[in-house]
Amino acid sequence: MQTYRDLLEALEAYLYLRNFRPGTHRSYLSSLRMFFRYRRVQGWQGDFTVEQARSYLVARHRSEVSWITVNIDYSAIKMLYVEVLKQTWDVAATPRPKTLSQLPRILSKEEVQRVIFSARNLKSQAFMLFLYGTGLRISEALAVKLGDINSDRLQLRVQCGKGGKDRYVAMPDQLIPVLRTYYKVYRPAVYLFNGEKMGSSWKMRSAQMAIKKAAQQAGITKAVTAHVFRHCYATHHLENGTNLLFLKKQLGHKDLKTTQQYLHLCTLTQVQVHHPLSKLEINLLQTRSARYSGSTGSAI
């Protein structure tokens, strides 16, 4: 009889072998721990059944957690049943939650500028400009290493993005001096946005908190997250006339329909590229703290 710990270890091994991202590991294992706790509370023992999975997912729906959360729960439990327990998954009896048709939240160009330059330090400013300038997901941005940037070709290599795929992203030329200024002050090693320990990447929670504080400082009442900058990148590009297929490749979307959602938020789609970052008036802070030593040179 396998214990819950055995099942978690078996699923984690499967995720490693399939080369799922660390964030997926954390999400799926967390979902299964909650499912196991539910089984204990219900007094269920022995075999796992589809009825148990359906009961748990219905309970999660009724607790009014987000569709995204329930969808992750569904995927984790289905993977447990099919890949670890080797059971047949009855899709008719336990269908996947229907996707909600919601348009993404975006900011105006003026609001984007207010948020970025309301940040209290250069690192936060540079990070938000990087998100808005490249359209990367926050996990992709935090994983960027110094060697991934080719300033001569104005290209950025995204390694193992969503779906485990690499891609190249075009960078606007206005972003290069921003990154060089940031580099001269912070001197990151390995990762572009360094964490507290040299050679480590900036923590996602810390990066999101920096964005939240900048939005509050700017007086923006909308919820502003790193992903909002990705939505703004896509929408403002289309408003400036950038081609939809170019954006699909930039954003790393598998299906053009995913990129087309931004057409609902803007007008004018022409075969040209006008980066919205070129419209911002960039006024960076020049130091990280009073201890700034005035170092020169750049790896970017």
* 178: enclosing H helix or E strand: helix 175-186
Amino acid sitting at position 202: W
Q: Is 162 among the residues known to form the active site? A: yes
pTM over 0.85: no
List 39, 78, 145, 227, catalytic entry = 227
The 10 Å Cβ neighbour count of residue 297 is 8
* HEC string for 15-38: HHHCCCCHHHHHHHHHHHHHHHHH
List 230, 231, 236, 275, catalytic entry = 230
Residue 267's pLDDT is 47
Residues 6+ positions from 163 with CB-CB distance below 8 Å: 252, 254
Q: Is 262 among the residues known to form the active site? A: yes
List 60, 109, 123, 137, catalytic entry = 137
Amino acid sitting at position 138: I
Residues 6+ positions from 198 with CB-CB distance below 8 Å: 189
List 253, 274, 279, 288, catalytic entry = 253
Architecture of the domain defined by 4-84? Orthogonal Bundle (1.10)
Residue 160's pLDDT is 72
The alpha carbon dihedral of 79, 83, 84, 85 has a sign of: positive
Kindly report the CATH class assigned to 109-279.
mainly alpha
The answer to whether 8 and 33 are in contact (CB under 8 A) is yes
- For the chain (300 residues), the mean pLDDT of every run of 10, in chain order, is 89 91 89 95 92 93 86 94 92 77 79 95 96 94 94 90 80 95 94 91 95 95 92 89 87 84 62 72 77 61
CA distance 139 to 295: 29
List 28, 56, 74, 262, catalytic entry = 262
149-150/167-170 β-pairing: unpaired
Residue 271's pLDDT is 45
The answer to whether 229 and 132 are in contact (CB under 8 A) is yes
- The domain ranges of the chain are 4-84, 109-279
The angle, 0 to 180 degrees and rounded to 10, between the axes of the packed helices 226-239 and 109-116 is: 140
